[in-house]
Amino acid sequence: MTVTASRRTPMSSPTPTADPETTWRRWRHDFHRFPETGFDEHRSADRVAQVLSLLGIEVARGIGGTGLVGTLRRGSGAGIVALRADMDALAIHEHAPGRAYASQHAGRMHACGHDGHMAMLLAAAQLLAEDGGFDGTVRFVFQPAEEHGRGAAAMLADGLLERFPFDEIYGVHNMPGLPAGQIATRVGGLMASEDNFVIRVHGRGGHAARPHQLVDPLVVGAEIVLALQSVVARSVDPQQPAVLSCTEFHTDGIRNAVPSEVVIKGDTRSYAPEVQSLLERRIREIAEGIAQAHGARCEVEYTHEFAPTINHAAPVAAALEAARRVVGAAQVDGDTPPVMASEDFGRFLLHRPGAFVFLGNGAGSEPGATPLHNAGYDFNDALLPVGARWFAELVRLRLPATASETRP
């Protein structure tokens, strides 16, 4: 449905006399103060819809759960560009003594900067709504549930592309460890896929004093964990990036009893579909083979969680040009190394061309250098105008206006 106003107390609304950057910081701090986890972003979506409506932007709600799309049209151009921000927080208890806008929701915080991503995209919406300078249509896509890789698929399943079509899509993520304000991306693989696995080993448990009568799943599980360390080293082409990590090991045993079951959990990261298939096959072969050799049984579950984020060449060129215009060539890296972390934005890129970029949050002793997913992390407010102007410049590059269309 289309939203024209919110029933809740509004955030500071944009006005011609207000300092926009002060307003953008207030938006960001409000989002930070009230974090919401995946598919529970009701208040956040209300606030986003509120601001977009005040800017005169058409808003549609309830797409893939709590997702929403704002639509802004100028001129008669047929081109449509989508800009995306994620909305969800993490189930982490914030540790930030003295932070005036610290989380008011115990056990939840914006430890990944999605509060800043929302504020940047709203700021870009304000710039584009007030100043125009483009000819065509912009979709402002606010996605739920990025952290667990479910939100993009939910929006797509709810008809995002059919109901709100677009030609290209762009996104940004703040990146601690990069100098503040630096913009970095690359053509091709930027962030990896993530697949999860669960291996259940069934043995025969019993008294620890009589191991000869048992089938010890701990021994089987330990051998499986060690053997899996050889998969990337000996089965994957060294020129193909891949990670295989066993991250959990659980048993139903006690101090003086050998367990009957061991559960091993973990994940894999890669870029190529053939590597994903190889990793799954080798995990199954190794786990089942070792279990059989010991007289145990085993079951392997393997699920695909995140698609890899594979950038397209023409959108990357546009993203880099917009970056050079906003921060200068010295602050732009067009061949940044890929990372093995995952990002739900990659699922959109399976359906439409686009580009994802990193925006430096701070390095060394700079504010913003605290790692993502850390209880003390905070988004660097100095990035709000950088990200907003990058988004706006990108739209103006991809949807160029005639002289008569430079303002609404």
Instruction: Write out pLDDT tens, residues 381-403.
Output: 999 999 999 999 999 999 999 76
Q: Can you state the percent helix, strand and coil of the chain, rounding each to 5? A: 35, 25, 40
pLDDT of residue 402: 78
Q: 110 and 307 in contact (C-beta within 8 Å)?
A: no
- Active-site entry in 30, 46, 88, 393: 88
User: Which residue in the block uniquely carries the two structure tokens 């005040």?
Assistant: 54
Is residue 173 a known part of a binding site? yes
Distance CA 28, CA 48 (A): 11
Is residue 112 a known part of a binding site? yes
* Residue ranges matching CATH 3.40.630.10 in the chain: 20-192+308-405
Share of the chain above pLDDT 90, in %: 93
Share of the chain above pLDDT 70, in %: 94
Residue 252: active-site member: no
DSSP 201-216: EE-B-EETT-GGGSB-
Give the DSSP H/E element, type plus range, for residue 98: none
Residue 88: active-site member: yes
Strand 80-86 with 168-176, pairing: parallel
Is residue 298 a known part of a binding site? no
CATH assignment, 20-192+308-405: 3.40.630.10
Distance CA 269, CA 276 (A): 8
Predicted confidence band of residue 367 (pLDDT cuts 50, 70, 90): confident
DSSP 312-351: -HHHHHHHHHHHHHHH-GGGEESSPPPBS---THHHHHTT
Which of 242, 243, 187 is CA-nearest to residue 357? Answer: 187
Residue 172 main-chain phi, psi, to 5 deg: -145, 145
**Tokens linked to 198:** 């669960």
Taking CA atoms, 268 is separated from 127, 308, 366, in Å, by 41, 12, 32
Q: Which DSSP symbol is given to 298?
A: E
Please give the CATH topology (third level) of the domain spanning 194-306.
Alpha-Beta Plaits (3.30.70)
Is residue 147 a known part of a binding site? yes
* Residue ranges matching CATH 3.30.70.360 in the chain: 194-306
- Give this prediction's pTM: 0.92
Is residue 366 a known part of a binding site? no
DSSP 107-166: T-B--SSHHHHHHHHHHHHHHHHHH--B-EEEEEEEES-TTTT-HHHHHHHTTHHHHS--
Which of 364, 292, 357 is CA-nearest to residue 327? Answer: 357
- Active-site entry in 146, 167, 168, 405: 146
pLDDT of residue 90: 98
Does 374 score more than 60 pLDDT? yes
End-to-end CA distance of the chain: 25
Instruction: Please report, as a single letter, which amino acid is at residue 388.
Output: A
Predicted confidence band of residue 318 (pLDDT cuts 50, 70, 90): very high
Taking CA atoms, 70 is separated from 51, 148, 313, 389, in Å, by 10, 24, 26, 18
